[in-house]
Chains A and B, each alone.
Chain A
């Protein structure tokens, strides 16, 4: 119940932003086409932020998701150009992400290294791998299988309502994450590790397994994000793809009311946070704000929104 209130905490901000942009843009915001664009733009970040939510709930951080996304997209595209294996590219992308995530998790859980340091290292190292996979060039594949997930839409009511596949995937990721976090034993254990690690250990929870799981999920979803990007662009570049995506993902999680110290937060909040970021980007372009001012305004809105949230919840939760 408390989590629901927290998740709802940022919902009014999201709605206000939408309404504000709608009036400032002379009614162009709430059009079917524009909402489709917003949903599509939010999709990849939502998927990354869902993984980041698992990690931050344990009190950790994953700075490497942007690099893992790039490496996974590169691996997938490389496979998609081999005729016999092309159909497996999606799987390869996702598993590449999972692999890097599990390595992060193992270093953090088994060697007891700080998450910030480990993922800062893999931010750089995995970026190198991403470039290596394409021998530092852009890989193109105009006939990549399953391209529809990047550009197609799922038609709900023919000619009236359709949702981009990217958004469908993002929503499914959110739903499954919710199910895992709120309805399974593993979910409670993730919250317990974030709330009081020694209590979790005393209760017989295998803390190392929980940590490997959350970093594995973060990697896996970064891999899925990479596949989504590859299918959308028919191409990937190891150097440029996914640069600073980790920051947008972390921003979405924090905007969603998840505590940086772990143990408190919800996946619905993260969804709202990711939507706020997408609405801001979209709305500022719609009303013709210059690129430079977009940065300034986005930054200030993020700080303001979180400050508002803290003020409202004063005393009940601290980061």
Chain B
């Protein structure tokens, strides 16, 4: 396996990130680098600081301390839109899709393609369906652009959500528990989707509780506990047993 570190500059670099909510310290001194085409698993128990970290990277709120660098530039996100503008996309656990719309409409929601007729702009349904089909093809998903999301399986929904991130050419995709609520066969599909993203040079951060999925797809695993990063290891240098003991605190750090 090619080590992505060789690729040079990290796409995302966190230095000493900390976050306090009043007197509560949610995060402390987190350093983290993610490289293009790298899949990093972010693990930790509930309350370990995973979601706080993800929300800081996604621009939901700013860190109290530390610096975020994206593509080598220091960045400050006031709103999620700012993070999206530089190329950070989050695929949420509940997927944030509109069930009543077609796959294509969901992929393009908020970024619709239009055709001008004088002063009027109408939707270009044909172009959107064609581009969506192309994106599903790249992801090797058999999702059809005109199908309603309501009728889709969990794996297909993930494909739609991921196609959204491809549309914007995101450089970092953070996925929140993408395999939590779907069948075993569909987990395979979703892990396949993560591989496609990796092939296209996208950095992926996989937030998951499912050890087998993390070990199946990630290059590296980062373990959080009590608001601090306790481990950051190549997947080949660790084991599910070690990660479990790091999550629970049986082992303090590695």
Contacts and interface: CB of A to CB of B under 8 A. Distances in A.
Contacts of A199: 95-98, 109
A158 interface: no
Contact of A185 (B97, B98, B114): B114
Given A191-B101, A200-B98, A2 B92 contact: no
B8 interface: no
Contacts of A203: 96, 109-111
A73 to B, nearest CB: 31
A196 B98 contact: yes
Interface in A250-277: 263-264
Q: Which of B81, B100, B123 has the most CB of A within 10 A?
A: B100
B123 A195 contact: no
A205 B109 CA distance: 8
Contact of B92 (A191, A202, A204, A205): A202
A191 B98 contact: yes
B99 interface: yes
Contacts of B109: 188, 192, 199-200, 203, 205
Contacts of B95: 199
Contacts of A204: 81, 84, 110-111
Contact of A184 (B81, B100, B111, B123): B123
A122 B100 CA distance: 31
A263 B109 CA distance: 14
Contacts of A240: none
A264 B102 CA distance: 12
Contact of A195 (B80, B81, B99): B99
- Chain A contact residues: helix, strand, loop or mixed: helix
A194 B112 contact: no
B85 to A, nearest CB: 10
Contacts of B84: 204
Interface string A171-183: 0000000010001
Given A2-B148, A204-B81, A205-B110, A188 B96 contact: no
B100 A188 contact: no
Given A183-B122, A183-B123, A205-B110, A188 B105 contact: yes
Contacts of A244: none
A198 interface: yes
Nearest to B161: A199
Please give me the 7 A-B residue pairs with the lowest Cβ-Cβ distance, nearest first: A203-B110, A195-B100, A263-B100, A195-B98, A204-B110, A199-B96, A203-B109
Interface of B: 80-81, 84, 92, 95-101, 105, 109-112, 114, 121-123, 146, 148
Given A196-B99, A263-B99, 9 more contacts: A179-B122, A184-B121, A188-B123, A192-B98, A196-B97, A196-B100, A199-B96, A200-B109, A263-B100
